[in-house]
Each structure stands twice: as C-alpha cells, then as structure tokens.
C-alpha cells in the first residue's frame, strides 16, 4: 500500500499546482513510514515467537504435571488397597 502511495505521489511530480518540494517531502514521509512499519513488524514477530515458545513450554509442563498427578494418584490407590 505504501508503494502505491509512493507511486501516486511520484506521478504528481510536474503536475500543475504541485511543487517538487511538496512531492519530495511526501516521498520522504512515505519512506519514514516504511521504515517504521518494518521496525514494528520485526518487533511484533519477535514477540510472537516468544509467545509461541512460552506456550510450547507451558503445554509440555502441563503434560508433565498431568503425568505426575496420575502417578501420584495411582501410588496412593495402591497403598490404600494393600492396607
């Protein structure tokens, strides 16, 4: 979308009523927006990777906890049955 906007602004260069200074300032603004979007995308992708990693670890921990609870429950049942 920013590329389309950049192209539209560039097409206005030399048009009646549009100064080259205006076009250059808008082209510069679009380039700044592109750089900002790239930085934000990198930060969001990093956060998403951390979230996914944390979710994977949590799922594994929950699985281990369930196995431990089952083991404990089975041990308690076997001790009660032998009494």
**CA dist list (Å): 72 to 67, 79, 82:** 9, 11, 16
Q: Which domain holds residue 61?
A: 2-82
Per-residue model confidence (pLDDT) at position 83:
66
Query: Is the whole-model pTM more than 0.85?
Result: no
Tell me if 2 sits within 8 A of 29, measured CB to CB: no
Question: What is the Cβ-side half-sphere exposure of residue 82, based on CA atoms within 13 angstroms?
Answer: 5
The one-digit pLDDT tens for each residue of the chain (83 residues) are 778 887 888 888 877 778 888 888 999 999 999 999 999 999 999 999 999 999 999 999 999 999 999 999 999 888 887 76
The single-letter DSSP state of residue 83 is -
How many separate helices (H) and strands (E) can be counted in the chain?
A: 2, 0
Q: Which two tokens stand for residue 79?
A: 């001790």
Counted domains in the chain: 1
Predicted confidence at residue 16, as pLDDT, reads 76
């Amino acid at each position: 979308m920013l590329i389309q906007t950049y192209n539209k602004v560039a097409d206005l260069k030399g048009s009646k009523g549009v100064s080259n200074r205006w076009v250059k300032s808008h082209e510069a603004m679009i380039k700044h927006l592109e750089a900002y979007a790239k930085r934000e995308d990198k930060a969001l992708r990093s956060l998403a990777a951390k979230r996914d990693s944390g979710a994977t670890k949590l799922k594994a921990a929950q699985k281990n906890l369930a196995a431990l609870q089952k083991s404990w429950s089975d041990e308690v049942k076997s001790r009660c049955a032998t009494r």
